[in-house]
Amino acid sequence: MIHAGRYHELTVGRISDHGIYLTNDEGDEVLLPNRYVSMKDAVGDTRRVFVYHDSEDRLVATTEEPLATVGDIAYLQVIDRNDHGAFLDWGLSAKHLFLPNRNQQGGVVVGHKYLVYLYEDSITGRAVASMRLRSVVANDEIGVVPGQQVDLIVASESPIGWRVIVNCRHWGMLYKNQLFAPVRIGDRLTGFVRRITDDKRIDVAVQKQGYDEVKDAAGRLLAIIREHGGTLPLGDRSAPEDVAALTSMSKKVFKRALGMLMKRGDVTATDTEAKIK
């Protein structure tokens, strides 16, 4: 079955005046309109397309890439609203994502962005949005382990850090003392699970931990030095805020990374400068 709100690998089944009809193995069809069709398209070819419902409730395919698909959580902007709900910028030129009133929390304002979850409506089959994240984001059953690389979405700020959504499934905490570059709500980051507490709290970081963290930081530091023409005005006596501003690293991680580069013979360093050999 061809579902809305998802990508599909489909085969060109026939060509019409309106575009090409793509089919799956079950014989289901969806139209890819002419504006997305190439003169090279031929029956039997395979196309990767995104599928959605148009204004007349018909399934339509596009080669445009939306900002999110069914199962994703995304930070999307409200561009219009009516008595039934709001419409979000989905990244598609011909389609906005519907956010029904029942799925809103506290109302929404045109021009503002909100974190929403995309799901397939069980009655209409349409892809719709919901701000009620607690129904899909929970820590009752943890599906990640310490050290695992994860996808993070910044959800809200607290006095100690940022609450994040881990792999679109769990709540996590990214502490401010683990961050050395600014972040904003809606930002997508690659992170690593630092620990999972007995009360099922997930602490994450944006750097690898232990030796892997230092090895990764050394590679990034060497690239930064090269970007600065081979000399970086940082060393053991540099202020932590200067280190963070130029490298997005803590002073501790910077010193370890610099030490690794010196040990490998990649750079020389003074108290105030690192230079590629």
What residues does each domain of the chain span? 6-62, 73-134, 149-205, 210-276
119-136 per-position pLDDT tens digit: 999 999 999 999 999 889
Q: Which CATH number fits domain 73-134: 3.40.50.720, 2.40.110.10, 3.40.50.970, 2.40.50.330?
A: 2.40.50.330
pLDDT number for residue 248? 84
Percent of all residues in the chain with a pLDDT value above 90, rounded to a whole number: 74
Neighbours of 4 (CB within 10 A): 20
Helix (H, G, I), strand (E, B) or coil at 149: strand
- Model confidence band, residue 212 (pLDDT cutoffs 50, 70, 90): low
Gap between the Cα atoms of 128 and 237, Å rounded: 54
For 158-172, what is the mean pLDDT?
95
pLDDT number for residue 69? 97
pLDDT number for residue 191? 92
Gap between the Cα atoms of 99 and 130, Å rounded: 6
C-beta separation of 171 from 156 below 8 A: no
Question: 210-276 has which fold?
Answer: Arc Repressor Mutant, subunit A (1.10.10)
Give the single-character DSSP code of 103. G
Superfamily in which the 149-205 domain is placed by CATH = Nucleic acid-binding proteins (2.40.50.140)
Helix (H, G, I), strand (E, B) or coil at 21: strand
Under CATH, to which class is 6-62 assigned? mainly beta
For 10-27, what is the mean pLDDT?
94
Q: And the tokens for 199?
A: 């009360």
Domains 6-62 and 210-276 share a fold: no
**For residue 211, pLDDT beyond 60:** no
Burial of 63 from C-beta contacts in 10 A (0-12 / 13-18 / 19+): middle
Which range among 84-88, 153-157, 201-205, 217-221 shows the weakest confidence by mean pLDDT?
217-221
Q: What is the model's pTM?
A: 0.76
C-beta separation of 221 from 257 below 8 A: yes
- Model confidence band, residue 176 (pLDDT cutoffs 50, 70, 90): confident
Percent of all residues in the chain with a pLDDT value above 70, rounded to a whole number: 98
Helix (H, G, I), strand (E, B) or coil at 5: coil
